[in-house]
Structure 1
Amino acid sequence: MKTFEPSRTTTRIPVRTDPGLRFAWAHAVLAVVLLLAEGIRLGVVPTEVSAASAMVLVGAGLPLPLRPVLGLVTWAFVTGFVVNELGELTLAASDLYRLGALVAAVGLVPTLVRRLRR
């Protein structure tokens, strides 16, 4: 039996260029970094630096509007699972400083590096 539906072709989604997939991969990288940091028993500050560094590297390929969101997610995971226990988020002064630093680092560092390289 023939169908009158035109044939469909599926195109592969380019993992390296699709912002949604890169954003999802960034979350996976964040989870791996935090699990490894816990596994080797890094302290709070080295874990924060490791998570921020990984997100700056991964976030460099994201569009500018997604980078601060990635910084916010990084802050939530670090504050909830590294600084506090069991995913509890707090908004003490140190948490707000951490929030600003992570959002600024993940959001702005890739842009500044690109401008300096020109």
Structure 2
Amino acid sequence: MEAKERHKRNVAKEIIELAWPSITEQMLIMAVGMVSTIFVGRVGTNAIAAVGMINSLIFFFQAIFSGLATGSTVIVARLIGEEDKEGARLAVMQSLIMSIAIFIGLTTLGYIFAVPIVIMAL
């Protein structure tokens, strides 16, 4: 039983070591949103509403790219573990291309539908 407890502690430690960068990133993103809200709070309620709406979009886009990054990391790590360096390089390139394509697509949609989205939010 002692060996099982030791194993669980090691796994928990590894999880914390792997998770702290993501947790820190999320906390910093939330802090930026709060600071933005504080700064524009002096301007008026419309400015606060605009920052709130943008923060929601930022969290949405960040969730998409975090999911893509997590999936890509798993695939690349597996390929490196299998000592398939060429496959890992290919996976990294495909991940970058997919990220850029999604970014361009979402940016284009945002540019085209920016005014209707703002009107709908009002």
Q: Please, what TM-score do these two structures have when normalized by structure 1? A: 0.34
Higher helix share: 2
The structure with the largest alpha-carbon Rg is 2
Higher relative contact order (CA 8 A, sep 6+): 1
- Report the TM-score, using the length of structure 2 for normalisation: 0.33
